[in-house]
Amino acid sequence: MTDHTKNLRKSGVLLFMPPGDMEELEIEGSRCYWIGVEDAKGFYSRKHTSPPVVKRIFVNAVEIQNMETLEEQEYFADFSPLNRRFPLYANHILHAKVWVNEKGALSQEEMKGLLKSCPENVRAEYNVLGEIEEFYVLWQEAEEFELSENPRSYRIDRGTSELIFGEGIQGAAAKNRDSAAFKVQVTRCSGERGNLAPFSSLRFRGHLGLMKHMETTGKITGGWDMEGPGDALKRGSHVISGRKRLVSLADYEREAMFFSRSIHKVSCVPGKNGKITMVLLMKDYKEGSHGFYAVRNGLKNHFMAQCEITCKEEGIEIVEPVFVEISVKLWVTAKDMGESIEVSQKWLKGIECYLEPVGEGEHKGWEIGKLPGKSQLKMWLSSVESGRICHISASARYQMGGLDYEVDLEELECLPSMVCVNGKHEVFVSAERKEGSHDCLKKYERQIL
């Protein structure tokens, strides 16, 4: 079973395979297949603890990846020092398997020796007499020929989608000209086209038995196209600044931001004994924790490869923010009550824009570990040119440690892992009167009572 809920203490997905001997059972007149969930440690028997609620159950659910493996292609080429780049006819290349024909470069004894020592890295094709006619060796991808210890290496220019061989001095050169020089099987992704709307139909690449239809259960995000010049400059400045070393908290935050574009904001919180808690706010946080769990393990492994000397595995903890739902009630006056609906919608849009953590345009959203106060909220809303504010109230609701908390916004103590999100807002519109704002406020207070 894959548990993304931390033993049902957080919202997330439970993915498991039912037992093969699962049978129907009649309970209280209902004959079904039952799944039992037991609170063995009595966690949800505490006061102010909300029990978990199953939102949806999906039968035959599987995890999918934005990945497609293309059919293998043969390349016939006349190699020369000026012709070492070959188009791969694919965009958004993830990786490739390159089998180079070394029939003319190896003796019969060498080919038989490779077949015995590493059969997974060689492929032999025989003629009717049982003789080796073609002999392909799996080469390895290298970032730079100068840094590669394996002479059987190649490079992939993902910007131009080209395969590059060495000239024979730095990196070996494929030399077969009598038949196919090499074969390539490319694995690519769909880029931003892999971001799908809820309940989008998915294509099958092969036959899957009795499965006739497959669709997404929710919105899918995380795919992106190749980086542009602006992103490359930012990443280059990060490499120059950190020199591929993770020392300061800013180094960790920048490294996480360049790891995945699904991450919107990062905040590192130092702890005792050098422990680091990294808080990730995902761009698709509204869709649940799927995006976070898809990134968390890969990001942690990436950090371990970058800072294995300065930080141990238990020294980094990657968590989601504590989402604080801020609910606002607003009492405003309008000159024309015939436009009360339009006025109400303007105020609601202004509140939602101000509290949205994944902001765009002028408002970039609140940083992790910072929450707006009532006075800041009122100042922002004063820019909405639609009526006049008479009274405003705001409450905050959040979950922590399996417990629910709800307090007035002014009484909330902000923690470094908190992020504000939109709760339920209400706007009450009344006709503008000649009486002062103090009298107007008293009138609204009487209406509330």
Tally Cβ neighbours within 10 Å of residue 204: 10
User: What is the distance between the alpha carbons of residues 155 and 140, in angstroms, rounded to a whole number?
Assistant: 9
CB 65 within 8 A of CB 163: no
User: What is the distance between the alpha carbons of residues 19 and 27, in angstroms, rounded to a whole number?
Assistant: 19
Q: Checking DSSP bridges between strand 418-422 and strand 322-334, what pairing results, if any?
A: parallel
CB 358 within 8 A of CB 264: yes
196 to 2, 69, 215, 220, 346: CA distances (angstroms): 23, 19, 10, 5, 30
Using a 10 angstrom Cβ sphere, with 0-12 exposed, 13-18 middle and 19 or more buried, the burial of residue 290 is buried
Q: Which residues contact 143 (CB under 8 A, 6 or more apart)?
A: 155
Tally Cβ neighbours within 10 Å of residue 160: 10
CB 448 within 8 A of CB 352: no
- Token representation of residue 247: 């020392």
User: What is the distance between the alpha carbons of residues 144 and 164, in angstroms, rounded to a whole number?
Assistant: 11
CB 79 within 8 A of CB 177: yes
User: What is the distance between the alpha carbons of residues 218 and 199, in angstroms, rounded to a whole number?
Assistant: 6
What is the pTM (predicted TM-score) of this model? 0.69
183 to 30, 71, 357: CA distances (angstroms): 59, 10, 48
**Within the chain, what is the greatest distance between any pair of CA atoms?**
106
List the chain pLDDT tens, one digit each, 449 residues.
Answer: 888 777 787 777 888 888 889 999 999 999 999 988 888 878 777 766 777 888 888 888 877 778 888 999 999 877 665 568 899 999 899 999 999 998 888 888 888 899 999 999 999 988 888 888 899 999 999 888 887 888 889 999 988 899 998 876 666 777 777 788 899 999 999 888 888 888 888 877 666 667 778 888 777 877 888 877 777 787 777 777 766 677 778 888 888 888 888 899 999 988 777 788 899 999 888 877 878 888 888 888 888 877 755 566 677 889 899 999 999 998 888 777 777 788 888 888 888 888 899 876 666 778 899 998 888 888 877 776 666 788 888 999 998 876 788 999 988 889 999 999 999 999 888 876 655 545 554 544 445 44
Tally Cβ neighbours within 10 Å of residue 297: 10
Q: Checking DSSP bridges between strand 276-282 and strand 316-319, what pairing results, if any?
A: parallel
Q: Which residues contact 23 (CB under 8 A, 6 or more apart)?
A: 33
Q: Amino acid letter at 382? A: S
Tally Cβ neighbours within 10 Å of residue 128: 6
pLDDT tens for 321-351 read 999 999 999 888 877 777 778 888 888 888 8
Buried b (16+ CB within 10 A) or exposed e, 24-49: eeeeeeeeeeeeeeeeeeeeeeeeee
User: What is the distance between the alpha carbons of residues 204 and 220, in angstroms, rounded to a whole number?
Assistant: 17
User: What is the distance between the alpha carbons of residues 404 and 366, in angstroms, rounded to a whole number?
Assistant: 22
User: What is the distance between the alpha carbons of residues 174 and 84, in angstroms, rounded to a whole number?
Assistant: 9
Using a 10 angstrom Cβ sphere, with 0-12 exposed, 13-18 middle and 19 or more buried, the burial of residue 88 is buried
Report pLDDT for 444.
Answer: 46
DSSP code for 51? P
CB 135 within 8 A of CB 102: yes
User: What is the distance between the alpha carbons of residues 447 and 428, in angstroms, rounded to a whole number?
Assistant: 11
CB 151 within 8 A of CB 175: no
CB 222 within 8 A of CB 260: yes
DSSP code for 387? S
User: What is the distance between the alpha carbons of residues 426 and 251, in angstroms, rounded to a whole number?
Assistant: 42
Write down the residue that tokens 């905050």 correspond to. Answer: 396
Q: Which domains does the chain have, with CATH numbers?
A: 1-61 (no CATH), 68-188 (no CATH), 229-319 (3.30.300), 322-448 (no CATH)
- Token representation of residue 22: 């699962």
Alpha-carbon Rg for the chain in angstroms: 30
* Residue 201: closest CA among 190, 210, 212: 212
CB 195 within 8 A of CB 223: yes
Q: Which residues contact 401 (CB under 8 A, 6 or more apart)?
A: none
pLDDT tens for 128-167 read 888 888 999 999 998 888 878 888 899 999 888 999 988 7
